[in-house]
Structure 1
Amino acid sequence: MRYDRQTMLPEIGEDGQEKLRKASVLLVGVGGLGSPIALYLTAAGIGTLGIMDSDIVSLTNLQRQVFYTESELDKVKTECAHKRLSALNSEVNIQSYPYKLTKENADEIISKYDLVVDGCDNFPTRYLINDTCVKLGKPYVYGAIFGLQGQVSVFNHKSGKTYRDLFPDEEEMLAMPPLSKGVMGVTPAVTGSVEASEVIKLICGYGELLDGKLWTIDLRTMETNIIAL
């Protein structure tokens, strides 16, 4: 009964639900983007969800990071997220990593999962995710936000386009001055939901993935584009 409304869909069905149950996904970052990604993947019945974040809950998070509450201020994000997700769906195996993804641990951790989804907020981590996924042959569902704009893509699906096709000059990207941290809470909500949708599509094998394509949205105008990479 739990998954009845989605197994009614011909794109999912019982076979798709079984694929979700057997799938394992690593989510790097459980902040603004990670909140909707984790909630929707858990609600959908993903088999195993790894959540990775070294941060603690702060007051400024609450405007957009819908995982957390005032009572959880100064607590470790992965611990709070683990409790919230387990309360939502006890059938999902939640694995917590309360530390950063690094060159030293990336291979070991990512190798345990079928794919990686991006909830992070910095270029070095994205390059690390990308390069590790390329080396290990894992798909990488990418998302990023800025203010009232968001973008999503699927990288390294069947050895397709990678993050370095979107941003080939790593040194230039890392040398950029820090971007404004201004953001509306709905921006990661919309963008993260699209990322979760791409993860489910990838696992169940329906629709057209954003493979080799970049989806963008501007919430000021509601203009969306799909750009070939």
Structure 2
Amino acid sequence: MSDFARYSRQVVLREVGVNGQQLLRDSTALVIGLGGLGATAASHLAAAGIGRLLLCDRDRVELGNLQRQVLYRQGDVGRAKTEAARAQLAALNRDVEIETFDADAGLAAVRDADIVLDCTDNFPARYAINQACVAARRPLVSGAAIRFEGQLAVFDGVGGACYRCLYADDGEAAETCEEAGILGPVVATIGSLQALAALKWLLGRRDDAGKLQTWDALQMQWRVHRIPADPDCPVCGGPHRGDKQ
């Protein structure tokens, strides 16, 4: 392959190889949310040679983002995150096809993706993304980070538990990084692991599905929890998966 030099460090892995690299090149990943999680995840996906990268966000770069959203530069302040991210990722790997969407179009793009990464920071967005993934039968990689805590979950979209099984109610109002704080490497770690989970899935290693992994960054401790499917889930339970609110 002509670009072996670029990807040689991962192509030599038995779990990747030339065929795996071609799988990545033929794949489409949708990243919804281009903050600390999404900016990191998108960077790793582009660097790994994902063929098509769909980016969705409605915000503009703010000065306070730069402490943890290291994809952006100070000159990007005031610029739409989708535009700034596309420019930086294209500079990283010009062979990746990059498309950008606003929030509403991003949900519609779920059907065009082989895998979806939820990198948002609020329950309404997460519920909407989950429902779109269940309806389209697309795998979902969900991440969250705040203070010194992080979590990662993978949902297969075709019969196992979904995000709504994990958080059955509308939930408490989610704390924001502005209110509670976040250390940059904490959110970057979870974003990196979202990219890792997505790459593993695309390469056929799907044993992460149905697990919630939580991380205490202060103690450097991980816990893994199985997520049971809820037969009464309003999204994935019953005969009409993804159709109900």
Instruction: Name the TM-score class by shorter chain.
Output: over 0.9
Q: 1:222 aligns with which of 220, 223, 231?
A: 220
Distance 1:7 1:161, change over 3 A: same
In the alignment, the residues of structure 2 paired with residue 22 and residue 177 of structure 1 have an alpha-carbon distance, to the nearest angstrom, of 36
Q: Which residue of 2 aligns with 1:145?
A: 145
Identical positions, percent = 39
- Which stretch shifts more, 79-88 or 178-187? 178-187
Gaps of 5+ in 2: 228-245
Letter in 2 for 1:169: D
Alpha-carbon separation, structure 2, partners of 1:177 and 1:68:
25
Preserved contact between residue 107 and residue 129 of structure 2 (Cα < 8 Å): no
Aligned amino acid, residue 203 of structure 1: L
Alignment of 1:27-46 (within 5 A): 27-46=31-50
Q: How much has 1:139 moved relative to structure 2? A: 0.5
The aligned residue for residue 208 of structure 2 is: 210
Question: Does residue 25 of structure 2 align to residue 21 of structure 1?
Answer: yes
How big is the alpha-carbon RMSD for the aligned residues of Structure 1 and Structure 2?
Answer: 1.4
The TM-score with structure 1 as length reference comes to: 0.92
Deviation per CA, 1:121-155: give whole Å up to 9, x if none.
Answer: 11111100101110111011000111111000111
2: distance between equivalents of 1:3 and 1:119?
26
Q: How many residues are treated as equivalent by the alignment?
A: 221
Q: Name the residue aligned to 1:135.
A: 135
Check conservation: 2:141, 2:152, Cα contact below 8 A.
yes
TM-score (norm 2): 0.86
Task: Write out per-residue CA displacement over residues 48-101 of structure 1, whole angstroms, 9 at most, x where no aligned residue.
Answer: 00011111111100000011111111111111100100000011000011x22x
Matches within 5 A, 1:90-129: 90-97=94-101, 99-100=102-103, 102=104, 105=105, 108-129=108-129
Decide whether the 8 Å contact of 1:28 with 1:51 is kept in 2. Answer: yes
Q: Distance in 1 between matches of 2:203 and 2:122?
A: 29
Instruction: Name 2:173's counterpart in structure 1.
Output: 176
Unaligned runs of 5+ in 1: none
Query: Paired residue for 1:189?
Result: 188
The equivalent residue for 2:238 is none
State the distance in 1 between where 2:89 and 2:121 align: 22
Compared CA separation, residues 225 and 178, structure 1 to 2 (3 A) = closer
Instruction: Find the residue that maps to 2:54 and give its secondary structure.
Output: strand
Distance in 2, matches of 1:70 and 1:24, equals 29
Aligned: 1:88 with 2:92: yes
Contact 1:55 1:77 in 2 (8 A): yes
Q: Compared with structure 1, are the counterparts of its residues 66 and 106 closer, same or farther at alpha carbon in structure 2 (3 Å cutoff)? A: closer
Cα deviation 1:16-54 (Å, max 9, x = unaligned): 101100000110011100111001000000010001111
Residues 52 and 96 in structure 2, CA contact (< 8 A), matched pair in contact too: yes
**Structure 1 pair 138/177, CA: closer, same or farther in 2 (3 Å)?**
closer
Structure 1 letter corresponding to 2:184? G
Match of 2:162 in 1: 162
